[in-house]
Amino acid sequence: MGTHKSEQLPERLRQLLTEAYLANEKVYWQQREQLVQRLANKWVAVHNGQVVTVGEDMATVMDEVGKRGLCDAYIEKVGAESDTVFTIRQQREIGFAYDSAYSDKGTGYFFL
């Protein structure tokens, strides 16, 4: 698989990715062959041009990236890139009118 995953996203979703994230993704794919030789089937995070953490599972790597505040890191399972697929569900805000003059002083609840 020699393609960047971000290129497979619809344009409206790709626009949400930061330039730093896209740069980290690019570095991963540039270094992929060397990483496969050293770190096959390990999870890695790439940030600012280098592998910053390695782990046996995605949660460990994500936890380390979060602790270090590396929100633009690219995280991937080396050599098994197509094994992990995420489904993104669209979240919608639902608005409703609320009468601010209404108060149910007896219960502390309000009803919709």
7-64 pLDDT, tens digit per residue, is 888 888 888 888 999 999 999 999 999 999 999 999 999 999 999 999 999 999 999 9
Q: Centre a 10 Å sphere on the Cβ of residue 22 and count the other Cβ atoms it contains.
A: 16
Give tens-digit pLDDT for 61-92: 999 999 999 989 999 999 988 776 655 555 55
Q: pLDDT-based confidence at 107, cuts 50/70/90?
A: very low
What six digits make up the tokens of 30? 């540039």
Taking the model in full, what pTM does it have? Answer: 0.70
- Provide the terminal-to-terminal Cα distance of the chain, rounded to the nearest Å: 51
What six digits make up the tokens of 60? 């460990």
Decide which of 67 and 111 is more confident.
Answer: 67
Amino acid at 71: C
Cβ neighbors of 104 (< 8 A, separation 6 or more) are 110, 111
